[in-house]
Amino acid sequence: MAQLQNLPTNAPSLPDQADPPSSILILDVWPQVDCGRFAVKREVGDILEVWADIFKDGHDKISAHLEYWQEGSDEIFLAEMSFIDNDRWRGFFHVGEPGRYRYRVVAFPDYVATKRDEIIKKFDAGIDVSLEIREFELILVEIAQEHPQAAEIIDSIRHQLAHRSGDGPRVAVVTAIETVEALRPYRNIGGEMATPEYQLIVDRIAARYASWYEMFPRSAGKVPHQSGTFADVEARLPDIADLGFDVLYFTPIHPIGATNKKGKNNSLVSTPEDPGVPYAIGSPDGGHDAIEPQLGTIDDFDHLVAAAAGFGIEIALDVAFQSSPDHPWASAHPDWFTIRPDGSIKFAENPPKKYEDIYPINFESGDWQALWLELLRIVRFWVDHGVRTFRVDNPHTKPIPFWEWLIREVHETHPDVIFLSEAFTRPKVMKALAKAGFAQSYTYFTWRTERWEFEEYFRELTGPDVSQYMRANLFVNTHDINPYHLQTGGRPAFRTRLVLAATLSSVYGIYSGFELCEATPVPGREEYLNSEKYEYKVWDWDRPGNIKDLVRTVNQARKDHPALQEYDNLQFFGADDERVMVYAKVSNDGEDRVVCIVSLDPHRSVNTWIHLDLAHLGLADGIPYDVTELITGNHWSWAGAHHHIQINPMIEPAWILSLSPLN
């Protein structure tokens, strides 16, 4: 490295390098999450499009490309970036198999393009360019020195220049497409600038597009006051598959503790016939890597996983990192819990609620490293038994750095594993969990009821910033949440919420019983009366008043229409009545257009005008287009953007319309 000579001792400090710093600036790189601290998310087969503002002083040409590689690999791939306008550049690459990747933007002075541009301008102006062509040859020499593998190409170009006479023929060599393409990989000969590395997680498509069905496995049985078994769950698989679900999520399947066991409706008094809460994990029969004996054995579970796969369904398990007082951890590792001054272990509380049957884990334990490794072992145990999707209970009550570590460790060997964050918590905490690696997140959808709430919230969730790292899994209800609008809205409310969840997002879920319009509440509370959290249940899965036909139809529409399988393509349109929502999804190729019209009033009919954006839909104003309503199968044609509609919630509270130009 050249040394700086003869400077006074009090001279200003200069960069300690032989060459002057690059004068290229790369600004406003998109997408990135928190300056690259967290990963952008995509799915297999997607395109990662990267934008950046790139420029330098003067009028010299610059070029830029994307460098991207899979973590742990030495192979780096390049994708050319193109100038768009106003110093904005764009590049993209296709993402491959699931895993973790890195990418960055690299820009450099394009001396070849600069000299070529100068030669063309002067030649076209009738100015002698013989000296400029000699300068071009010197650039070729520099390229050969910087990129020895290009020596043969350089020799060929120089040979052509040497054997042409006159400016015209030699300019033709310099500007030939063959010359431009041959030199393209070797233009970078110094002065480059690179951004920091940005992270990318590539998930399975199921991270973006899936339909979830939640159930208590013990409620699959047919004998009152007796637990169902994994075999009973297998018997339910044809019905669940027929409804169109592809993820079957179980509440915890582990042994349930007897100490402080809860009775019906969360009573502190239980009887031997009460099964206890599945979230009170652990008994003498084992802990998180064991099966509740009444459900079956680990072999029975493996058989169920294989049987479900035969129906195109994958099993998702609940990860609930807590224990009952009877868990083996409580005796072997009491320091993994919070010890009170009287020597007792602190049970879980969320005042005024108390969970005397559950011990929360103390993540500030002095033995935290052994604790983290044990929890990782638990997840890997179930991965080894074929589970690739986990719903994580209350992750916001555990340290976010722990989740970032655990998810990365799991992905090291199984990058196809999907984690769903069940975190009804503060918005920024929910987002932080998504950034930490959770592929999907619960949201506040369950409590949104007004049009302005939906539009404001989903513009945020599916907008260009949040959608880079967070995918909203819209659950219409859960075993903990019996929303007031379902308690009071009757069957129309169930139909409306199903359509909203299944079409606002590409991934959604229902808790079993929703298809039966089950909403009997604990008076004044968003909880189910006689909840199956506390007792055995036997359901009539075909009882009168069910909406199974609608569930089946909506899930089939999702399968048939690529527009409904995308997450960030949501666009809201207008309606004169605030009780009506109108929104659209258009597929990436523009060929599939779905418009949803949903009445948010389950009690009264609505007459209103709706206003479509035909340009967004790729339809021409004034030219008729075909409309098919996917729930009823009704068919008609419309022309124009403005239409008067009437919706009777007792008949069809929501429309899902497929629009296409008339042939």
Q: In whole angstroms, what is the distance from residue 51 CA to residue 55 CA?
A: 13
- Catalytic residue, candidates 214, 422, 518, 532: 422
Residue 469 is given by DSSP the state: T
Dihedral, 176, 180, 181, 184 alpha carbons, nearest 10: 170
Helices assigned H by DSSP within 188-272: 230-242
Q: In whole angstroms, what is the distance from residue 175 CA to residue 120 CA?
A: 8
Beta strands in 77-144 (DSSP E): 77-80, 82-85, 88-94, 99-109
Task: Give which of 574, 572, 598 is closest to 585, Cα–Cα.
Answer: 572
- The residues that bridge with 329 in the sheet, in sequence order, are none
Alpha-carbon 234 to chain mean position: 29
The token pair at 479 is 């075993």
Cα atoms in the Cβ-side hemisphere of radius 13 Å centred on 278: 29
Contact 567, 598 (CB under 8 A): no
Residue 627's alpha-carbon distances to 478, 585, 593, 594, 659, in angstroms, are 35, 15, 10, 10, 5
| Residue 568 among the catalytic residues | no
Residue 199, helix vs strand vs coil = strand
Q: In whole angstroms, what is the distance from residue 20 CA to residue 18 CA?
A: 7
Q: Is 251 left (phi over 0), alpha (psi -120 to 50) or beta?
A: beta
The token pair at 301 is 């579970």
Specify the pairing of strand 210-215 against strand 247-250. Answer: parallel
Q: In whole angstroms, what is the distance from residue 90 CA to residue 84 CA?
A: 7
Residue 348's alpha-carbon distances to 224, 359, 362, in angstroms, are 31, 6, 11
Q: φ, ψ for residue 301 (rounded to 5)?
A: -65, -45
- Catalytic residue, candidates 43, 46, 393, 416: 393
Place of tokens 């909840």: 531
| Residue 456 among the catalytic residues | no
Q: In whole angstroms, what is the distance from residue 181 CA to residue 440 CA?
A: 43
Exposure string of 98-137, with b = 16+ CB inside 10 Å and e = fewer, is bbbbbbbbbbbbbbbbbbbebbeebbeeeeebeebbeebb
Sheet of 82-85: strand order equals: 25-30, 47-55, 88-94, 82-85
CB atoms within 10 A of CB 421: 28
Place of tokens 């604990």: 522
**Helix axis angle, 130-146 to 167-175, nearest 10°:** 40
Contact 377, 410 (CB under 8 A): no
User: Concatenated DSSP letters for 20-56?
Assistant: PPP--EEEEEES-BGGGTB-EEEETT-EEEEEEEEE-
Active site residues: 393, 422
